[in-house]
C-alpha cells in the first residue's frame, strides 16, 4: 500500500458567531497517498476552505489528528512539505514571474544558482519559458496561475493543496490549468487535494469526495 502523505482523522472545527456556535466540520477523515489526486466539492459555506486551512496546518482543529507523512505538522517543515495554489494567485506584483517562483526557494535558503535553475525549469514545464521576466500585470490570468503552480512545486513538495484554482479563469483556460496541475503532480508523484466547484474538473482526479453537513462522503 502506498504511504499516506496526508492523514486526517476526526477533524472538528467550531466557530463562534455572537452567542451562536457554528460547527463547520463534524469529524472529517481523509487519507491521501503519494501521487493520488483527490477532489473535494461542496456547497458554498460547507467548510471547504476551513478544511484546507486545517490540512495545511495554518489552523488547528478543535478535535482530531493530522499527520504529514506520519509526522505531526510543524511550521518549520511546511515550506518543504507543502505547496499551495489559490484562486487569487497571490503573486508579488513588483516581482517578475521568475522572481515569484524563486520566493519559495528563498524561504528555505536554497543557493541562488540551484534555485534559479529549478525555477527556470519549472517555468518551462508550465509553458512560460518566454515570460520569465514579465510582471504579473503583464500576464493573463491563466499565465499567472501557471506561475503560481510553478511556485507551489518549487521546493518539490510531497503535497499540494489547491483552493478553487480555476475560480478566476474562463472555462477553456481553467481546463488547461487543471490538466497542467494534474499532469505535473502525476509526473512528480505529488499528492494533490483539489477543492473545486467544477464537477468536470473533479472527475479528472483519482477520487472525488463531497463535503456535506461537516463530513466528507
Q: Residue 188 pLDDT > 60, yes or no? A: yes
Q: For position 55, which CATH number holds?
A: 3.40.50.300
Place of cell 515569484: 100
Place of cell 484546507: 52
Cβ atoms of 185 and 192 within 8 Å: the answer is yes
pTM of the model: 0.95
Question: Considering only CA atoms, which of 70, 51, 52 is closest in space to residue 12?
Answer: 51
Cβ atoms of 158 and 5 within 8 Å: the answer is yes
In a domain, 210, yes or no: yes
Per-residue DSSP letter, 74: -
Give me the number of domains the chain comprises.
1
In a domain, 68, yes or no: no
Tens digit of each residue's pLDDT (9 = 90 or more) over 136-183: 999 999 999 999 999 999 999 999 999 999 999 999 999 999 999 999
| Cα four-point dihedral sign 139, 142, 146, 148 | positive
The region of weakest confidence among 20-24, 138-142, 191-195 is 20-24
What percent of the chain has a predicted confidence (pLDDT) above 90?
A: 91
In a domain, 10, yes or no: no
In a domain, 6, yes or no: no
What are the grid coordinates assigned to 110, written together? 536554497
Q: Residue 1 pLDDT > 60, yes or no? A: no
Q: 93 - beta bridge partners?
A: none
Rg (CA), the chain: 17
Q: Whole domain around residue 107: which residue ranges?
A: 34-62+74-216
In a domain, 25, yes or no: no
Residues in the chain: 217
Per-residue DSSP letter, 71: B
In a domain, 2, yes or no: no
In a domain, 22, yes or no: no
What are the grid coordinates assigned to 101, written together? 517562483
Mean pLDDT of the residues in the chain = 95
In a domain, 192, yes or no: yes
Q: Measured in whole angstroms, how far is the alpha carbon of residue 30 from the centre of its chain?
A: 15
Amino acid at each position: 500500500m502506498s504511504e499516506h502523505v496526508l492523514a486526517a482523522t476526526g477533524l472538528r472545527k467550531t466557530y463562534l458567531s455572537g452567542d451562536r456556535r457554528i460547527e463547520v466540520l463534524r469529524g472529517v477523515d481523509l487519507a491521501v497517498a503519494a501521487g493520488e489526486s483527490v477532489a473535494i466539492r461542496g456547497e458554498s459555506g460547507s467548510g471547504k476552505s476551513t478544511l484546507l486551512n486545517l490540512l495545511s496546518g495554518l489552523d488547528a482543529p478543535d478535535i482530531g489528528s493530522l499527520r504529514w507523512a506520519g509526522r505531526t505538522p510543524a511550521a518549520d517543515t511546511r515550506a518543504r512539505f507543502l505547496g499551495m495554489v489559490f484562486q487569487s494567485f497571490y503573486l508579488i506584483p513588483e516581482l517578475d514571474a521568475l522572481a515569484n517562483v524563486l520566493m519559495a526557494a528563498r524561504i528555505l535558503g536554497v543557493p541562488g544558482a540551484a534555485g534559479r535553475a529549478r525555477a527556470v525549469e519549472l517555468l518551462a514545464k508550465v509553458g512560460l519559458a518566454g515570460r520569465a521576466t514579465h510582471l504579473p500585470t503583464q500576464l493573463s490570468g491563466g499565465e499567472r496561475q501557471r506561475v503560481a503552480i510553478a511556485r507551489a512545486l518549487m521546493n518539490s513538495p510531497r503535497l499540494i493543496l489547491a483552493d478553487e484554482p480555476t475560480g478566476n479563469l474562463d472555462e477553456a483556460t481553467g481546463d488547461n490549468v487543471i490538466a497542467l496541475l494534474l499532469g505535473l503532480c502525476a509526473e512528480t508523484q505529488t499528492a494533490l487535494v483539489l477543492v473545486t466547484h467544477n464537477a468536470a474538473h473533479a472527475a479528472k482526479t483519482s477520487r472525488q469526495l463531497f463535503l456535506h453537513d461537516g463530513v466528507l462522503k
